[in-house]
């Protein structure tokens, strides 16, 4: 993406300084906004990213069909009217190439590339107590130091592969969806396996089915999904969106999940069943998350209401899949609608009506091993040219667990979080001074950039406060951290999703320590509105819960 002109300005390991006021890790949506604010203040700061270029999620996830479930115009940055006025989103739910182009447009427009360094992975970070600085070790051999580290390392940036025997034996092409090859991959006529039926698989399957000779999908657990109802945004429509940007972002700030979709205020039981169905018919036909987030609150709280909603969506699946037995296999039986993050789809269910698509129930006939030519289930051998692992991410804490982070007294963050994350406001960790997280565990926004902006806007005055007071260290107090953990835990209470087998509860069958039954409290489930209030209250109270020294 970098042009020769911009590349020339980029720092290389040979020319970059070793000492900074602030190091930002991650050049995704969060890191880009963070460095903008730091550069504006003239802070000596840099961004480090393991990737070869900026974009984070949108640099990595290049699989066919990769796109937002967020309305594009609610996902873009809100802070610059110049950016808002110039950028034209061409689809209501932007595809990955357009989003990556957008992030490059932002960085080039704001001249941020010269503050970024790529191809450098932070492997270890140690807090040096006598100097109140972090010492960072990079995979390129460099040792850097910074007063403050701001980690925007990504909520879904660490892919997890399954643990099948024989994965290295496969002679064809295989990769995780987050590592889809950058060079074009022609699947015409190929025999392709997709392992997994989560949000990514649901995006990729309809697209690949049109190219592949044969597509075989291995499903262990069915997932609820509802139509994305995507469409183009014409120039006049984009002009109308521009004219109401203030309202759009204000609506996001009022919504628990930071979307334009606001939960219906009526009580489920006050609305007669026929009217409920008519309401759902309308939501099912609308673009985006309305069917999930503009629904009755009881869907998330009340088993009976959730069962009725699930039955409605199950009927929709039955209408769309011709083979009744196949439809039943695609209808989740182990969890209710919407208690896991809802994947949105385009022709997902119809894809199973195609002759070249097969669905294998890998709960009934588990995959036993990957072979040189394909894979073996408990029932039969399959031959493939390509195996795609759509097996998700080590969500929220994965990127942190991959770095050896040592705070006061040499304490390891990995050890501290062994049973699950513990944070203050999802931003700080007690005992790990001068370290800030953006998009880390125990924050709220489901529409991530909205949350990133709130987080950066919160941390900047804190840094200025520290500097103005002549302090060199800030650290969350243990009591404040415990209180936040208690609030996060309480936010799960009564929610049906607290039993979900998903990243909301930290479940991941491919990761040791993430087994079902031990909840890892990964998000502040009460939502963005309350979350923003907590941040504001802490700041207004002179950064209550934070000790400065
Ligand atoms: C397929 C997919 C679809 C999604 N769709 C949506 C959506 O519709 N709406 C929504 O709101 N969110 C969506 N998300 C979530 C998405 O991750 C966030 O929206 C957002 O992109 C997060 O930005 P970030 O900058 O916080 O993290 P990321 O974009 O993940 O960037 C983190 C960066 O940190 C770097 N990094 C990590 N560890 C290190 C290290 N040790 N050293 C150096 N660099 C490191 C990574 O290389 C990466 O570039 C989606 C995620 C995926 C995977």
Q: 293: Cβ below 6 Å to ligand 1?
A: no
Q: Dig out the tokens for 279 from the structure.
A: 């309401």
Q: What atom in ligand 1 is closest to the CA of residue 51? A: 47
C-alpha 28 – ligand 1 centre gap (Å): 6
Ligand 1 in reach of 53 Cβ (< 6 A): no
Distance 312 CA to ligand 1 centre (A): 33
User: If you compute the radius of gyration of the chain from its CA atoms, what whole number of angstroms results?
Assistant: 23
Four-point Cα dihedral 130, 131, 132, 133, nearest 10 = -130
3-state secondary structure of 454: helix
98: closest CA among 55, 130, 127, 128?
A: 55
DSSP string, 110-145: TT-GGGEEES--EEEEEEETTTTEEEEEETTS-EEE
Contact indicator for 76, 84 with CB cutoff of 8 Å:
yes
Pocket of ligand 1 contains residue 122 by CB under 6 Å: yes
Q: How far is CA 194 from CA 202, 214, 322, 386, 516, in A?
A: 10, 11, 21, 9, 24
Q: Indicate the SS3 state at residue 147.
A: strand
- In angstroms, the Cα distances linking 223 to 216, 240, 334, 500, 516 are 17, 35, 9, 12, 17
| Residue 21 CA to ligand 1 centre (angstroms) | 24
CB 211 within 8 A of CB 223: no
Q: Is the CB of 116 under 6 A from ligand 1?
A: no
Q: pTM (2 decimals)?
A: 0.96
Point out the ligand 1 atom lying closest to the alpha carbon of residue 452.
26
What are residue 113's phi and psi, to 5 degrees?
A: -60, -35
Q: Whose CA is nearest to atom 21 of ligand 1?
A: 57
Q: What is the pLDDT along the chain (549 residues), one digit of tens a residue?
A: 444 444 445 667 777 888 999 999 999 999 999 999 999 999 999 999 999 999 999 999 999 999 999 999 999 999 999 999 999 999 999 999 999 999 999 999 999 999 999 999 999 999 999 999 999 999 999 999 999 999 999 999 999 999 999 999 999 999 999 999 999 999 999 999 999 999 999 999 999 999 999 999 999 999 999 999 999 999 999 999 999 999 999 999 999 899 999 999 999 999 999 999 999 999 999 999 999 999 999 999 999 999 999 999 999 999 999 999 999 999 999 999 999 999 999 999 999 999 999 999 999 999 999 999 999 999 999 999 999 999 999 999 999 999 999 999 999 999 999 999 999 999 999 999 999 999 999 999 689 999 999 999 999 999 999 999 999 999 999 999 999 999 999 999 999 999 888 888 989 989 988 988 889 999 999 999 999 999 999 999 999 999 999
| Residues 58/100, Cβ–Cβ less than 8 Å | yes
- Distance in Å, CA 530 to ligand 1 centroid: 23
Task: Please state, in angstroms and as integers, the Cα–Cα distance from residue 319 to each residue in 83, 98, 279, 328, 354, following that order.
Answer: 43, 33, 18, 11, 15
- Kindly give the distance from the C-alpha atom of residue 161 to the centroid of ligand 1, in angstroms, as a whole number: 18
What distance in Å separates the CA atoms of residue 448 and residue 453, rounded to the nearest whole number? 9
Q: Ligand 1 in contact with 259 (CB < 6 A)?
A: no
The rounded Å distance from CA 154 to ligand 1 centre is: 4
What's the length of the chain? 549
Of 77, 154, 446, 447, best ligand 1 pocket probe by most atoms within 8 Å of the beta carbon: 154
């Amino acid at each position: 993406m970098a042009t020769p002109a911009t590349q020339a300005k980029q720092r290389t390991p040979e020319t970059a300084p070793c000492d900074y006021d602030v190091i930002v890790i991650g050049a995704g949506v969060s890191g880009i906004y963070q460095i903008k604010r730091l550069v504006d203040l003239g802070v000596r700061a840099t961004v480090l990213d393991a990737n070869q270029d900026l974009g984070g999620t949108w640099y990595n996830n290049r699989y066919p069909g990769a796109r937002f479930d967020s309305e594009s115009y609610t996902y873009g940055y809100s802070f610059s009217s110049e950016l808002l006025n110039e950028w034209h989103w061409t689809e209501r739910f932007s595809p990955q190439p357009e989003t990556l182009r957008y992030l490059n447009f932002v960085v080039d427009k704001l001249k941020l590339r010269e503050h970024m360094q790529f191809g450098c992975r932070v492997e270890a970070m140690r807090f040096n107590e006598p100097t109140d600085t972090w010492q960072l070790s990079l995979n390129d051999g460099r040792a850097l130091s910074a007063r403050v580290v701001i980690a925007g390392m990504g909520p879904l940036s660490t892919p997890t592969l399954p643990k099948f025997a024989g994965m290295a034996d496969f002679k064809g092409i295989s990769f995780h969806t987050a590592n889809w090859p950058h060079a074009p991959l022609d699947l015409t006529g190929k025999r392709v396996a997709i392992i997994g039926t989560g949000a990514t698989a649901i995006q990729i399957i309809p697209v690949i089915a049109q190219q592949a000779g044969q597509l075989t999908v291995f499903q262990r657990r069915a997932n609820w999904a509802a139509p994305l109802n995507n469409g183009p945004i014409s120039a006049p429509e984009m002009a109308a969106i521009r004219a109401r940007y203030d309202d759009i972002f204000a609506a996001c700030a009022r919504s628990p999940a930071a979307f334009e979709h606001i939960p219906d205020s009526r009580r489920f039981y006050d609305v007669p069943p026929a009217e409920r169905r008519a309401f759902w018919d309308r939501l099912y036909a609308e673009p985006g998350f309305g069917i999930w987030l503009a629904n009755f609150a009881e869907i998330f709280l009340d088993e009976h209401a959730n069962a009725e909603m699930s039955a409605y969506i199950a009927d929709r699946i039955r209408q769309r899949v011709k083979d009744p037995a196949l439809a039943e296999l695609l209808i989740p039986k182990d969890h209710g609608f919407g208690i896991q993050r809802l994947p949105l789809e385009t022709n997902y269910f119809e894809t199973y009506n195609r002759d070249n698509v097969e669905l294998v129930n890998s709960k009934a006939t588990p995959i036993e091993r990957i072979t040189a030519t394909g894979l073996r289930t408990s029932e039969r051998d399959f031959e493939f040219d390509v195996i795609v692992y759509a097996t998700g991410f080590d969500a929220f804490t994965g990127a942190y667990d991959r770095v050896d982070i040592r705070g006061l007294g040499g304490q390891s963050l990995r050890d501290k979080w062994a049973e699950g994350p513990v944070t203050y406001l999802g931003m700080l960790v007690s005992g790990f001074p001068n370290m800030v997280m953006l998009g880390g565990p125990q924050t709220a926004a489901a529409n991530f950039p909205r949350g990133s902006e709130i987080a950066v806007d919160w941390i900047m005055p804190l840094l200025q406060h520290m500097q103005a007071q002549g302090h060199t260290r800030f650290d969350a107090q243990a009591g404040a951290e415990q209180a936040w953990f208690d609030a996060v835990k309480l936010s799960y209470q009564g929610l049906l999703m607290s039993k979900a087998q998903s990243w909301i509860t930290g479940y991941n069958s491919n990761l040791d320590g993430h087994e079902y039954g031990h909840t890892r409290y990964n998000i502040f489930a009460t939502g963005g509105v309350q979350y923003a209030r907590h941040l504001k209250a802490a700041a207004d109270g002179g950064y209550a819960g934070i000790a400065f020294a």
